[in-house]
Structure 1
Amino acid sequence: MLDPTASSDLTRETPMRRLALIVTATALCAGLTGFAALRSSGDSSPPATAFRGPPAGATRTPPGMDGVVDKLQRSLRAQPSDASSWAQLGSAYVEQARLHVDPTLYPKSEAALRRSLRLQPRHNTQALIGMAGLANARHQFAQARTWARTAVTDDPYAWAAYGALNDALTQLGDDRGAQDAVQRMLDLHPSTASFTRASYTLELHGRTTEAAQALRRALADASNPADEAFCQHYLGELAFNTGATAQALRHYRAALALDPTYTPSLAGAARAEAALGRTGPAIRDYRTAIDRVPQPQYVLEFGELLDSLGRSGEAREQYTVLEAEQRLFAANGVVDDLNLGQYQADHGDPAIAVTLLTAEWHRRHSVLVADALGWALHRAGRDAEALPPARQAGRLGWRDALLRYHRGVIEQALGDRRAARTDLAGALAANPAFSPLHAPDARARLAALQGQQ
């Protein structure tokens, strides 16, 4: 477990998430681990970036990423044997892919990183970290673990390598290893990037008060408005996840005041507005966010909001966009069975969801996959099989409303009214507006169960 008394003072740690499409969001953000370790031209320090662990949303974009890519490309045309610049370009492509939701840049990233490794096969930590970030972005988490461990072996003081390792191990379900990696990152480089990762770990363990403390520490350490906006955004995410919706909206708006172009906070504001019953502003802000950056998470959230309003035709349009994005990801090496399985369970074919998520569970035993598999099995009518993974999903103590809702519905289907009442009440206590579709269902189910007492 993370040590609050360690040299990095982990009263400054953390966690966060968005269960629906968080891993896709994480995948599109994972390149920042590599990019944060790079040195921009003429600057001996890494760019101010931060990575908010898995589940939750987008990370801060270094300013002028397209310009950075153009500058590196020009430099490499003049000096094609510069291994360091090829490594920087490879990681920059992954960040550019996140920014533009363009996974077609992943093959270009891999080509650049592998060229760097051919030019400098030994002691090329930059390229190793870049390969780890690319593998995380593609959801190839076992490969990311291997690349990150190789980078750590190459340079035990390369703090960004521990960030990539933490990301991979979190997704693989190696809780102890993930904690050790983020602790080492904090020891080496206590910063916005490390505090926000630690926050995610704390949230996954149900330590939400410490998670908020870590984010506030990250905010205090932020050196520019961009990083301040990033921290305000994730304070908003944590507030929303713990049911403080009005407070969450204030954090999202604070982030937008610092950086009006920060799309994750615009989508966050839309989510909070919808939860507060402000449907018009929520629809407007979702549309604007998706027009700017069509992140799958935003598309799915918007579709579910429209569904909850009875606007099924418009919701289907959003789901069609999401399906097209999933095909594009797959064509560019992104293994996305978790997100596709979650989508199929609620909006497609539950039998397909079970197949996808069973395969994903064989690859990695994270709490996210356990929850998704349990829910898919329930949706496919296999409740007795659904309960063990649903319980497995709660093994870390994560106080996630959607997770508890899923487990409560499964328990109700199996006739365990007492457990179902406990979990459905727990879901609504954690966040009364956790989903425009599922929160009303949780209230209806709980009321029916209480009437049967």
Structure 2
Amino acid sequence: MIRPARQGDDARPPGPTERAASAVGMGAPAAAVDLTALVADREKWVAEHAKDDASWAVLGAAYLEQARRTTEPAWYPKAEKALKRSLELRPAEKGNFDAMTGMGTLANARGDFVTGKKWGELVRAQAPKRWTAYPVLVDAYTGLGDYKAAERSMERLLDLRPGLAAFIRASQVYRDRGWREDATMAMEHAGGAAKAPAEKAYVLFRLGELSWERGDAAEALRQYEGALRADPAQAQALGGRARALAGLGRGGEAVRDYRMALGRAQVPRLALELGELLDALGRSDEAKVPYDTLRTAAARGAADGVNESVVLGLFEADHGDPAAAVRRLTQEWSRHKSMEVADALAWALHKTGDDTAALEYAKKSTDRGMRSADFAFHRAMIERGLGDDAGARRYLQEALRTNPRFSPARVPQAKAALAAIGQPPAGGPENMQPAKPWVAPDLPKAAKPKPAAKTEKGEKAEKGEKAEKTEKSRSVGA
């Protein structure tokens, strides 16, 4: 039986505005064309319906997605203004969950994980089964260094709504635990849940990042190129391809791709990678340009509330003022105690010569289990600065085993340091062999147990047993 058509039925496929609104509402990436259409549509709508709180929340979420796609920090103030307008029309106390979730996502995108946690927990307190709160909480807890809480939120998200957003967060949590196979499997599940090309491109980019971190540059290159085929406008995937090409020894192509990526989106981390690649290629004069780009992009982001303390700290430690890096990262550590902040602060302290303090932070970044060649290299150099050749050897080997191409600038340093330290002497440490022959210790002999005192009933029972055995033996003899 076929139901008769009704007035509200529409057999046409969803248009760009509907596709983008659906993706934004699900916390998924959206195509650039669809986003542009959605922003234009909602801006026109709220201009005529200024008291529509739901449309203001959608517009804020669309601005946020534009910021993610373009890495242009100027979108963040626009998103904040739209979301706050939605909350003015319908306050948080009245359950404006879309705007509250958007504010949490905005705070996380800016690197303000304390505020992101506040908004996420506010939504969870009012609506524990609203799944959109949990991606915000996973990102916020991860940025704060509370990895157990991030794992609990991820598990709750998987229970409430297994899908693209949940699998991406699961992969992130597993990666932070050092479970590389589980992280890859979860991201592949996310790829199965992805529908639009922009979603598939983002998943392929993340798979490329996982492949790169485990040292498979060829596989990473394949994943990055797949992401670019699905979404040619993705600057992060173009930067990832440049990283993989540099690892494969194709420096000229890597420089080209880095410059193309920075032409599309001035991402400070990509600018730092390009500058260090040019330094490694002996083109230090050219490296000044991406370093200037890094400073400019970070300053512009700071004006719009974006926190780039980790990238700036690493840059200042290696190419600027290490003491300023320590001050910047110490302040960042007071708010966000993540592994990334601990590693950057440890490296900045090492560059100032304070290896004793640096080791304490290096342990916080390496002892949890995440497999990072950069973290291992930093700890190795800190251990070497303290005179611990065994510790330095262990972490240098771990860095090169995790990803033998992790950096065009630091891989040669790691190999040179490992060669200078050399291998441990044959036979192992001196204390493995006893100085004197082993002699069996003179142990006291165990005392014999005393017989238990016999009671009157026990004696009668014993006599009965003896008489019974005697009678049996006589009968057998007869």
CA deviation digits over 1:295-324, x for unaligned, max 9?
A: 222211111111111111111110101101
| Partner in structure 1 of residue 319 of structure 2 | 347
Structure 1 residue aligned with 2:355, among 376, 383, 398? 383
Q: Normalization by structure 2: what TM-score?
A: 0.82
Once structures 1 and 2 are overlaid, which stretch shifts more, 330-339 or 438-447?
330-339
* CA distance in 2 between partners of 1:125 and 1:50 (Å): 14
| Partner in structure 1 of residue 345 of structure 2 | 373
- How far off is 1:228 after superposition? 2.0
| Partner in structure 1 of residue 176 of structure 2 | 204
* CA distance in 2 between partners of 1:198 and 1:368 (Å): 19
Query: Within 5 A, what are the aligned runs for 1:21-170?
Result: 41=18, 45-47=22-24, 61=31, 63-121=33-91, 122-170=94-142
Pairing 1:194–2:177 present: no
Once structures 1 and 2 are overlaid, which stretch shifts more, 94-103 or 210-219?
94-103
- Which structure has the larger Rg? 2
CA deviation digits over 1:433-453, x for unaligned, max 9?
A: 101111111111111111675
CA deviation digits over 1:207-246, x for unaligned, max 9?
A: 0011111111111222233222222221111111001111
Answer 1 or 2: higher relative contact order, Cα 8 Å, separation at least 6: 1
Structure 1 residue aligned with 2:271, among 299, 305, 311? 299
Give secondary structure in 2 for the equivalent of 1:64. helix
Q: 1:452 to 1:293 in 2, by over 3 A?
A: same
Instruction: Tell me if the contact between 1:50 and 1:196 (Cα under 8 Å) persists in the aligned partners.
Output: no
CA deviation digits over 1:277-307, x for unaligned, max 9?
A: 1112111111111112222222111111111
Q: 1:409 to 1:42 in 2, by over 3 A?
A: closer
| Partner in structure 2 of residue 406 of structure 1 | 378
Once structures 1 and 2 are overlaid, which stretch shifts more, 389-398 or 152-161?
152-161
Instruction: Tell me if the contact between 1:103 and 1:329 (Cα under 8 Å) persists in the aligned partners.
Output: yes
Query: Within 5 A, what are the aligned runs for 1:312-323?
Result: 312-323=284-295
Instruction: Tell me if the contact between 2:24 and 2:62 (Cα under 8 Å) persists in the aligned partners.
Output: no
| Partner in structure 1 of residue 367 of structure 2 | 395
- How far off is 1:431 after superposition? 0.1
The residue identity in structure 2 corresponding to 1:132 is G
CA deviation digits over 1:337-386, x for unaligned, max 9?
A: 22221221122110000001111111121111111111110011111111
* CA distance in 2 between partners of 1:46 and 1:290 (Å): 26
Instruction: Tell me if the contact between 1:390 and 1:407 (Cα under 8 Å) persists in the aligned partners.
Output: yes
| Partner in structure 1 of residue 442 of structure 2 | none
| Partner in structure 1 of residue 197 of structure 2 | 225
Once structures 1 and 2 are overlaid, which stretch shifts more, 222-231 or 353-362?
222-231
Instruction: Tell me if the contact between 2:21 and 2:58 (Cα under 8 Å) persists in the aligned partners.
Output: no
Q: 1:265 to 1:197 in 2, by over 3 A?
A: same
* CA distance in 2 between partners of 1:240 and 1:165 (Å): 27
CA deviation digits over 1:169-223, x for unaligned, max 9?
A: 1000111111111111111221122111111111111100111111111112222
The residue identity in structure 2 corresponding to 1:81 is K
- How far off is 1:49 after superposition? 6.7
* CA distance in 2 between partners of 1:365 and 1:43 (Å): 35
Give secondary structure in 1 for the equivalent of 2:422. helix
* CA distance in 2 between partners of 1:441 and 1:379 (Å): 15
* CA distance in 2 between partners of 1:421 and 1:128 (Å): 49
Instruction: Tell me if the contact between 1:49 and 1:61 (Cα under 8 Å) persists in the aligned partners.
Output: no
* CA distance in 2 between partners of 1:247 and 1:49 (Å): 29
| Partner in structure 2 of residue 54 of structure 1 | none
* CA distance in 2 between partners of 1:427 and 1:282 (Å): 22
Q: 1:281 to 1:314 in 2, by over 3 A?
A: same
Structure 2 residue aligned with 1:259, among 212, 231, 234? 231
Percent of residue pairs bearing the same amino acid type: 43
The residue identity in structure 1 corresponding to 2:57 is A
Number of residue pairs the alignment of both structures matches: 408
Pairing 1:281–2:248 present: no
Instruction: Tell me if the contact between 2:359 and 2:379 (Cα under 8 Å) persists in the aligned partners.
Output: yes
Q: 1:223 to 1:145 in 2, by over 3 A?
A: same
- How far off is 1:114 after superposition? 1.1
Instruction: Tell me if the contact between 1:195 and 1:218 (Cα under 8 Å) persists in the aligned partners.
Output: yes
Pairing 1:174–2:146 present: yes
The residue identity in structure 1 corresponding to 2:39 is V
Instruction: Tell me if the contact between 2:142 and 2:150 (Cα under 8 Å) persists in the aligned partners.
Output: yes
CA deviation digits over 1:391-435, x for unaligned, max 9?
A: 111232011000000000000010000010000000000000101
CA deviation digits over 1:24-81, x for unaligned, max 9?
A: xxxxxxxxxxxxxxx9659984448767xxxxxxx66564322221211100011000
Structure 2 stretches lacking a partner, 5+ long: 1-15, 426-478
* CA distance in 2 between partners of 1:308 and 1:403 (Å): 20
Structure 1 stretches lacking a partner, 5+ long: 1-38, 52-58
Instruction: Tell me if the contact between 1:132 and 1:147 (Cα under 8 Å) persists in the aligned partners.
Output: yes
Structure 2 residue aligned with 1:238, among 195, 210, 214? 210
Instruction: Tell me if the contact between 1:192 and 1:218 (Cα under 8 Å) persists in the aligned partners.
Output: yes
Give secondary structure in 1 for the equivalent of 2:132. helix
* CA distance in 2 between partners of 1:293 and 1:281 (Å): 18
Give secondary structure in 2 for the equivalent of 1:185. helix
* CA distance in 1 between partners of 2:373 and 2:159 (Å): 32
* CA distance in 2 between partners of 1:231 and 1:305 (Å): 26
* CA distance in 1 between partners of 2:305 and 2:402 (Å): 36
The residue identity in structure 2 corresponding to 1:332 is D
Instruction: Tell me if the contact between 1:249 and 1:269 (Cα under 8 Å) persists in the aligned partners.
Output: yes
- How far off is 1:105 after superposition? 2.5
| Partner in structure 2 of residue 447 of structure 1 | 419
The residue identity in structure 2 corresponding to 1:323 is R
